[in-house]
Structure 1
Amino acid sequence: MATPVDNPDQNHGAASDLPRTGPWWRHRPGWGLKRLFDLSASLVGLLLLSPLLAAVALAIRVQMGSPVLFRQERPGYRGAPFILTKFRTMRDAAEGEVWFRSDGERVTWLGRFLRRSSIDELPELLNVIRGEMSLVGPRPLLMEYLDKYTPEEMRRHDTPPGITGWAQVNGRQNIPFSERFRLDVWYVEHWSMALDLKILFRTFYDVSKRSDVVVGQNVDEVDDLGLSADRVRSDRAEEGESE
């Protein structure tokens, strides 16, 4: 487990001291290499995974109909909004009598499989290619939470959001949100390409073991920050699904 940042001023390369204009990969030494790796790996990944992506899209269309993809506005680098893209995993709330069901009940068996295997996240490679995300970084939560973060928690946006991150390989939903935010800030302050590669390796290992995945988490179980319940709603605090 990483040690949270005790004194941010003692850490090197703080992104909060860097320029705010232009693409994020020009704002910190080494981020150009991070961007090159992101772009190369994402393009290769999409090419190799294209048969799987097509099969998943067809399966979603057959079971749940259109749309196949779920899109939602999320905060990116410095909090700038972008449209995150994932595979859809939940039935439409207006579909028949399903409107009264909880989010956990609306997740289909296919959706549960996609979440457990993290296949639902694969369309985010498009966000990476467009430069809106990185392969590794803090997970983008919901736009409405921005005004509820403390100044320290806001520092998690001093790096581009990622498909996986330091918090995800150190507990994911099994640790309180306050700890996840501390881990996100720790990552921002201690970033290196070696750390990114370590996180990617651990992510592949965790996914292969299908570990650390929670579906249908209750707000009372995760909101340990003393904030109003609308800060974290069900498992969507991470997943953000409101289909």
Structure 2
Amino acid sequence: MYKNFFKRVFDLILAIIALPFWLLILIIIGPIIYVQDKGSIFYNAPRLGKNGKVFKMYKFRSMKMNAPDLRNEDGSTFNAEDDPRLTNIGKFIRKTSLDETPQLLNIIKGDMSIIGPRPDLPEHLEMYEGNEKRKLEIRPGVTGYNQAYFRNTIPWKERIQNDIYYIEYLSWWLDIKIFFKTAISVLKREDVYATEKSTRSNKNSGVEM
């Protein structure tokens, strides 16, 4: 009952409550993004949603306009603290995870949940093997089991298996634990950037940042 009904109800209630606070963040962060690097405030990233449906995931733009798409040797998105593509405000909103807050709109639209597997790129659908497509059984999350406990420290394939573990044991109590663990990780700014170990594993896999 929680997975199929109450989870969505709680998502909507919490997202609507949080919306005024996010609008305040938008009013402050939006103009700074524009002033530092003229262009769109948002970055609309295509991602895989529930049942493989592609949707636009909203983020505050943290990189310079027309920045090149850099990848690690495992095919994952390059993500480093000294990334020259990041604007000054971009470095700050990455570290504080404020760049992810526009996904509140995705929750209201029904594309995402507060807690769930982090969504992959559309091209990653062709890379799934065995039972890995199971991560598409539920809505992707703004945060999730991986994001809370491992963030960017483990390879993509391991993240998928953790996503499947989350789906199998999904419960109200597990979501509560993930929510508060995420809050602690964000406040401590733990594991924001991918480690060398995590990017060298699974050479033919990708990862969503």
TM-score (norm. length: structure 1) = 0.76
Residue 136 of structure 2 is aligned to residue 157 of structure 1: yes
Give the Cα–Cα distance (whole angstroms) in 2 for the partners of residues 161 and 77 of structure 1: 7
Equivalent in the alignment of 2:202: 225
**How far off is 1:221 after superposition?**
4.8
TM-score (norm. length: structure 2) = 0.87
CA RMSD of aligned residues (A): 2.1
Equivalent in the alignment of 1:146: 125
Equivalent in the alignment of 2:65: 92
Equivalent in the alignment of 2:21: 48
> Which is bigger in relative contact order (C-alpha 8 A, separation at least 6)?
2
**How far off is 1:30 after superposition?**
3.7
The AA in structure 2 aligned to 1:45 is A
5 Å-filtered alignment, 1:22-171, equals 30-93=3-66, 104-171=83-150
For these two proteins, the number of residue pairs brought into alignment is 199
- Give the ranges of 4+ consecutive aligned residues of structure 1 lying more than 3 Å apart after TM superposition: 99-103
Give the Cα–Cα distance (whole angstroms) in 2 for the partners of residues 222 and 101 of structure 1: 13
Give the Cα–Cα distance (whole angstroms) in 2 for the partners of residues 221 and 183 of structure 1: 15
Give the Cα–Cα distance (whole angstroms) in 2 for the partners of residues 58 and 151 of structure 1: 46
**How far off is 1:175 after superposition?**
1.4
Question: Whose Rg is larger?
Answer: 1
* Structure 1 residue ranges without an equivalent (≥5): 1-27
**How far off is 1:135 after superposition?**
0.3
Residue 161 of structure 2 is aligned to residue 191 of structure 1: no
Helix, strand or coil for the counterpart of 1:105? coil
1:172 and 1:180 in contact (8 A); partners too: no
The AA in structure 2 aligned to 1:199 is I
Give the Cα–Cα distance (whole angstroms) in 1 for the partners of residues 28 and 130 of structure 2: 43
**How far off is 1:101 after superposition?**
8.6
The AA in structure 2 aligned to 1:165 is G
The AA in structure 2 aligned to 1:55 is I
5 Å-filtered alignment, 1:200-211, equals 200-211=179-190
Give the Cα–Cα distance (whole angstroms) in 1 for the partners of residues 146 and 94 of structure 2: 17
Measured against aligned partners, the alpha-carbon deviations of 1:93-147 in whole angstroms (never above 9, x if no partner) come to: 36xxxx6999621111211110110000000000000001000000011001101
Give the Cα–Cα distance (whole angstroms) in 2 for the partners of residues 226 and 130 of structure 1: 35
Equivalent in the alignment of 1:238: 208
The AA in structure 2 aligned to 1:225 is N
Give the Cα–Cα distance (whole angstroms) in 2 for the partners of residues 62 and 31 of structure 1: 43
- Change in Cα spacing, 1:100 to 1:212, as seen in structure 2 (3 Å) is closer
* Structure 2 residue ranges without an equivalent (≥5): 72-77
2:112 and 2:139 in contact (8 A); partners too: yes
2:117 and 2:140 in contact (8 A); partners too: yes
The AA in structure 1 aligned to 2:201 is D
5 Å-filtered alignment, 1:11-26, equals none
1:156 and 1:185 in contact (8 A); partners too: yes
1:78 and 1:158 in contact (8 A); partners too: yes
Give the Cα–Cα distance (whole angstroms) in 2 for the partners of residues 146 and 223 of structure 1: 21
